[in-house]
Structure 1
Amino acid sequence: MTTVTERKPRAKKPEGQWKIDGNTPLNHDEEVKQVEPVLQVKQRVIDTYSKEGFDSIPADDLAPRFKWLGMYTQRKQNLGGEHTGKDNSELQDKFFMMRIRFDGGRCTTEQARAVGEISRDWARSTIDLTDRQNIQLHWVEIENVPAIWEKLESVGLNTWDGCGDVPRVILGSPVAGIAKDEIIDATPAIEEITNDYVLRDENQNLPRKFKSSISGNARQDVTHEIQDLAFQAVEHPELGPGFQVFVGGGLSTNPMLAQSLGAFATLEQVPEVWNAVVGIFRDYGFRRLRNRARLKFLVAQWGAEKFRQVLEDEYLGYKLPDGPNPPENPISRDHIGLHEQKDGNFYLGVKPTLGHLSGEQLIAVADLAESYGLTRLRFTPFKELLLLDIPKDKVDSLTADLDSMGLYSKPSEFRRGLLSCTGLEYCKLAHVTTKSRAIELADELEERFTDLDSPITIALNGCPNACARTQIADIGLKGQTVTDEEGNRVEGFQVHLGGTLGDGANFGRKIRGHKVLSSELTDYVTRVVQNYVDKRDEGELFRDWLIRAEEEDIK
């Protein structure tokens, strides 16, 4: 008689949660981070690598440790998408992308001029405004890095924790302290976190990157729904202005919307709560698999209720009061155009195409601003540039001067809502060209639809990592290699339609089997917009039409 032996369930692999599994490294990245405090690599750049050149840099310093310095090697030029996924040593060039932090998007004209001069002198005049309120430079050589750092530090800037498994730049309302629609000025909290918490040793080894935002603006201008941790301003019926706490948002290959903890934090409590959430991520975050190491996976496993309980009981030592969620703001989150400040002056928002400037342009902006007596600039999560404190009688002439520089305060809806990652030009993860495609697309759409009155957001991303926020755009385009009618493997895009934040927040819909060749992208988007123009109801926004559009009208 044959007996059947019951198979015991396979033991669950540890996730690498320090408070549960211990801190024995479960992959090479975790090993590297435990050898020494990662930021110690800075001194080796100054003492050795800048003098001996790129080839003197060992692999573990080049990646991952250089990320803590805000530096990635950039992609070798003219390597098509078919090379993506190969060994880094094959893809990387001997030049770096360098990321400069601007927490809260705050910048002075002195700082802008210094960055412009660094770009002009040492980065082939490249400047990219990012959707995290940073500036990125390209073509940086290791020999020039100490001089760049010295110049940045002379104006109060740095690149520390620009990349890596650390707290990244803190997003903040770019009009904090001046906006008429502000609920509370979050600047003191951002300054305290930046100065006192970010670079603490205990916050320099997280499972993966940690993205946070703090906005006191009613416009909800920092995309709080897709941050690891977000503080969004609300009016508490008894406690007055403060913040609702959200955790667990993020895009990439497993997009998730942040969950409200239902907890109210005062301005004074925000830094302590921020640090406590970072501590939870450090101690309980998943470290075994890099693709599951973001905070959103822990929040998804625990749920908001348990997360709040651990936050209060293990890390804060006190209960936060319950608080309201902010009302959903579906649209109009950017700061393009002219807006009156609470002091009677004005701020003006302009949109460089795709957030791209030259070093000389940024210097010229700083010079122009100062010629009008202005010293405060701001960068936004929508790659905009703001000039603050403009007297009413100088608005028209300053606007005209910026227009003459190609910095328009009244861009078309297409250029206003257009985002793109760097794509194959510099990124080792990209499959397709994005920037030139995006510019071509904007030019054609502006020519075809001169008076379109509906906001339209279009995002082009070179890979699935969603740096351009493809899943929350009206038209999101995710780059990948596709097969054309002749069987050739060519550049193309998977299409996401109808993604949005705020009211009805969702990640859009994908049409089954529908992909667009890069060479046909402009024709495709033009056709969809034309169908909208022809078939919309009176006053119907593009985002609303997409929800009800027939599949044949959007293919």
Structure 2
Amino acid sequence: MYQYDAIDQTIVDERVRQFRDQTQRFLAGELTEDQYRPLRLQNGLYIQRFAPMLRIAIPYGLLSSRQLRKLASIAREYDRGYGHFTTRQNLQFNWPRLETVPDILEELASVQMHAIQTSGNCIRNTTSDQYAGVAADELEDPRPYCEIIRQWSTLHPEFAYLPRKFKIAVTASATDRAAIRVHDIGLQIVENAQGERGFAVFVGGGLGRTPVIGTCIRDFLEPVHMLSYLEAILRVYNRLGRRDNKYKARIKILVRESGAERFAEWVEAEWDKLRDTDLRLEPEDIAHIQDFFQPPAYEPRRDSDAVAAQAASESGFGRWMAHNVIAHKQPGYRIVTVSLKAPDDAPGDCSAEQMERVADLADTHGFGEIRTTHEQNLILPDVPHEDLYTVWKALDEVGLATPNHGTLSDMIACPGLDFCSLANAGSIGVAREINALFDDLDEQYDLGEIKLKMSGCMNGCGHHSVGHIGILGVDKKGEEWYQITLGGTAAEDAELGQRLGASVSRQDIAPAIRKIVDRYAEVREGDELFLDTVRRLGITPFREAVYG
């Protein structure tokens, strides 16, 4: 993984020093709340319902075991013993004391981490495929390009105060595991007819109050031009994006109102001014960053017959193997999903003890690397096949071996009203109630892949708009109600869900999901997946099931 040089380390160390002084002045009454607000937001610090919330950047979801142990230590010393992994592949601490935040940032800087640009109207954390570098179906590792984008976008002087926040995602597989079509910019590494590698460029996607699927404005962009083309897009947006109404300020509104073709013409005209400047990425520039992401020293290995026998004889291990373990590009290795979706826990929450256990496993059964996912799980990317039973036992001891990856209970959910000051309704309690209604894993396996995504408000942090089943919390005269959408997906065939009907009450939302799934079981054909059934029949049968 990328290692800071002296410039990187100086930047984060100086930021800590500056923010410590700013916080001390605020606490001493020398800065007003209005003066302090932009300073704290530039350092990832929000004020939530009950306490500050600090959002930590995890660039493209990549962590070392040392960094994960540091997060565990911070959770234990400065928070309430846990952290929350988000759909942006970041981590949030929900209970730090304001006066200790500079100390947390100093701790983070000691392991090459920070909270810079995790909030505010700037370019946020660039995300990627959680299987990058180990996926058998990728053209190449997309993480070097993510790192180049990170370096270009960090403290970019022109894009520090955009009309609104800005998000970029990069993938290198035909199967889109990075949800690039619901980002402000999505880059997909593709191969043209001549066998050359480049990028398909998607623009104008986004969720929240006005969800939009992004549009491809360039089918093939040479890697040498990646930064200049991104710069051109950002310049057009920075100049023409609306600043009079924050609900219409995202690039998706500009693309939609101008039309994708016209927007692309603006970008191409701007790019003509930039393509041959110092933004050009020479092959040696790309190679320099790629050197940080060379494959680890894999040993020649074969799959273990003993592990296959254990999976056949021990049902818990067998289930976990079938659902939380997938193929690796290197023979004799596997990719393991560490589920943060135990039935009684808030989706994405991870205790200090659990973080330390995962870090230990990454060292003893891998190469010291962990990934975070936009589905709010963790990944051990390089587990030898022969070690899988040992890894499963170790995860099971700390509640991290729930064999539910890709099932209904592997749901995405924001913290909702339990923490967030923007939320209209709770998410965590609803998640627990839904899990209680679907406590039979065999039933979940029979149902197949169902991506349930839930947000506590229109900001859409839980990606409800692109859930196979989406749940959105709304406020009705101080009471919690929920809208339901069906048929959404953030994959390569990205589509927004359709609203099922009128919102349902807090007490009725979990039973409504039960009715939807029961109707699916009645009308599916053979092993047809939920999304395919909705596409075949539309939402009418499910509306009838919920509303009668």
Report the TM-score range of the alignment, normalised by the length of the smaller protein: 0.7 to 0.9
1:171 to 92, 105, 127: 127
For residue 337 of structure 2, what is the aligned residue in structure 1? 349
- State yes or no: 1:463 paired with 2:457: yes
Corresponding position of 1:507: 496
**What's the CA shift string for 1:381-438, capped at 9, x where partnerless?**
1112111222222122112321332222631654554111111111111111111211
TM-aligned CA deviation for residue 524 of structure 1: 1.4
Which residue of 1 is the match for residue 311 of structure 2?
none
Structure 1 counterpart of 2:46: 72
Q: Residue 373 and residue 515 in structure 1: after superposition, are their counterparts in 2 closer, same or farther (change >3 A)? A: closer
Secondary structure of the residue aligned to 1:139 is coil
Give 1:177 deviation, angstroms: 2.0
Match of 1:479 among 467, 473, 497: 473
**Contact conserved, 1:348 with 1:387, CA < 8 A, in 2?**
yes
TM-score where L is the length of structure 1: 0.81
Is 1:340 aligned to 2:334, yes or no?
Answer: no
CA contact (8 A) 2:60 2:126 kept: yes
Q: Closer, same or farther in 2 for the Cα pair 1:442/1:50, shift >3 Å?
A: farther
Distance of aligned partners of 1:57 and 1:461 in 2 relative to their CA distance in 1, 3 Å threshold: farther
Distance 1:265 1:409 in 2: 41
Which of 189, 198, 215 is equivalent to 2:171?
215
CA shift at 1:341, angstroms?
2.5
1:387 and 1:433 map into 2 onto residues whose CA distance is 31
Q: Does the C-alpha gap of structure 1 residues 151 and 504 become closer, same or farther in structure 2, counting only changes over 3 Å?
A: closer
Q: Which residue of 2 aligns with 1:331?
A: none
The amino acid of 1:473's aligned partner reads G
Q: Counterparts in 2 of 1:24-423, with a 5 A limit?
A: 45-50=19-24, 53=27, 57-76=31-50, 95-317=51-273, 337-344=324-331, 345-353=333-341, 354-408=347-401, 410-411=403-404, 413-423=406-416
Contact 1:336 1:348 survives alignment (8 Å): no
In structure 1, the residue corresponding to 2:158 is in which secondary structure? helix
* Alignment partners' CA distance in 1, 2:236 and 2:73: 41
Q: Decide whether the 8 Å contact of 1:100 with 1:162 is kept in 2.
A: yes
Query: Deviation at 1:451?
Result: 4.2
Residues 541 and 56 (structure 1 numbering): CA distance in 2 closer, same or farther, change over 3 Å?
A: farther
Aligned to 2:484: 495
Residue pair 1:105, 1:171 contacting (<8 A) in 2 also: yes
Question: Aligned partners of 1:41 and 1:502: how far apart in 2?
Answer: 37
Counterpart of 1:430 in structure 2 is: 423
Which letter does structure 2 place at the counterpart of 1:542? F
Whole-angstrom CA distance in 1 between matches of 2:161 and 2:369: 34
**Hey, what's the Cα distance between the residues in 2 that align with 1:490 and 1:424?**
12
Report how far residue 262 of structure 1 moved: 2.9
1:292–1:158 CA distance, 2 compared to 1 (3 A): same
> What is the SS of the residue equivalent to 1:347?
strand
CA distance in 2, matches of 1:314, 1:504: 30
Partner SS state of residue 377, structure 1: strand
Of 58-67 and 459-468, the range deviating more from structure 2 = 58-67
Check 1:371–1:494 CA distance in 2 against 1; reply closer, same or farther (3 A cut).
Answer: same
Contact 2:22 2:36 in 1 (8 A): no
User: Structure 2 stretches of 5 or more lacking a match?
Assistant: 1-12, 277-321, 342-346
Whether the aligned pair in 2 keeps the contact of 1:248 and 1:256 (CA below 8 Å) is yes
SS of match in other structure, 1:243: strand
| Counterparts in 2 of 1:506 and 1:237: CA distance versus 1, 3 Å | same
Q: Is the 8 A contact 2:416 2:426 kept in 1?
A: yes
C-alpha separation between the residues in 1 aligned to 2:30 and 2:352? 29
Q: Cα distance 1:110–1:441, how it changes in 2: closer, same or farther (>3 A)?
A: same
The amino acid that maps onto 2:509 is: L
**1:192 shift after superposition:** 1.6
Counterpart in the other structure of 1:13? none
Change (3 A) 1:119 1:245: same
1:518–1:468 Cα change, 3 Å:
same
Pairwise CA RMSD of aligned residues? 2.5
**Is the Cα contact below 8 Å between 2:89 and 2:374 reproduced in 1?**
yes
Separation in 2, partners of 1:336, 1:447: 15
SS at match of 2:461: coil
The residue matched to 1:528 in structure 2 has which SS?
Answer: helix
Contact 1:336/1:350 (8 A) holds in 2: no
Normalised TM-score (structure 2): 0.82
Is the 8 Å Cα contact of residues 414 and 445 (structure 1) preserved in structure 2?
A: no
Deviation at 1:117, TM superposition (A): 0.6
Q: Deviations over 1:129-153 (max 9, x none)?
A: 1111111111111211121111111
Q: Secondary structure at the match of 2:46?
A: strand
Give the structure with the higher percent strand.
Answer: 1
Query: Offset of 1:51 from its aligned partner?
Result: 7.0
* Cα distance, 1:482–1:142 mapped onto 2, change above 3 Å: closer
Say if 1:212 and 1:69 are closer, same or farther in 2 by CA, change over 3 A. same
- Code of the residue aligned with 2:368 in structure 1: it is T
- Aligned residue for 2:102, secondary structure, equals helix
Deviations 1:205-241 (A, max 9, x none): 1111001111112321110111000101222112522
Contact 1:459 1:473 in 2 (8 A): yes
Query: In 1, are the aligned partners of 2:408 and 2:444 still within 8 Å (CA)?
Result: no
Is the contact between residue 423 and residue 433 of structure 1 (CA under 8 Å) also seen in structure 2? yes
Question: Are 1:273 and 1:316, in contact at CA under 8 Å, matched by a contact in 2?
Answer: no
Following superposition, the deviation at residue 40 of structure 1 comes to 9.9
Match of residue 544 from structure 2: 552
Q: Is the 8 A contact 2:128 2:170 kept in 1?
A: yes
The 1:348–1:316 alpha-carbon spacing in structure 2 relative to 1, beyond 3 Å, is farther
Mapped contact 2:16–2:102 kept (Cα < 8 A): no
Give the match's secondary structure for 1:537.
Answer: coil
Task: For 1:351, give the aligned amino acid.
Answer: S
**What's the CA shift string for 1:105-136, capped at 9, x where partnerless?**
11100000001111111011231111111111
1:412·1:446 contact (CA, 8 Å) conserved in 2? no
Shift in alpha-carbon separation, 1:73–1:55, aligned structure 2, 3 A: farther
Q: Which amino acid aligns with 1:552?
A: E
Query: 1:57 and 1:545, CA in 2 relative to 1: closer, same or farther beyond 3 A?
Result: farther
Q: In 2, distance between residues paired with 1:268 and 1:177? A: 21
Contact 1:418 1:459 (8 Å CA) reproduced: yes
* % identical equivalent positions: 28
Map of 1:329 onto structure 2: none
- Using the TM superposition, name which of 122-131 and 158-167 deviates more: 122-131
2-structure distance, mates of 1:525, 1:230: 32
Aligned to 2:299: none
Give the Cα–Cα distance (whole angstroms) in 2 for the partners of residues 380 and 492 of structure 1: 29
Gaps of 5+ in 1: 1-38, 77-94, 321-334, 484-488
Size of the alignment, in residue pairs? 479
Partners of 2:28 and 2:484 in 1: CA distance: 39
- Tell which deviates more after alignment, 157-166 or 489-498: 489-498
Q: Is the 8 Å Cα contact of residues 447 and 521 (structure 2) preserved in structure 1?
A: no
Native 8 Å contact 2:204 2:252 kept in 1: yes
Contact 1:54–1:142, Cα closer than 8 Å, also in 2 = no
Residue 316 of structure 1 and its aligned partner are, at CA, apart by: 4.3
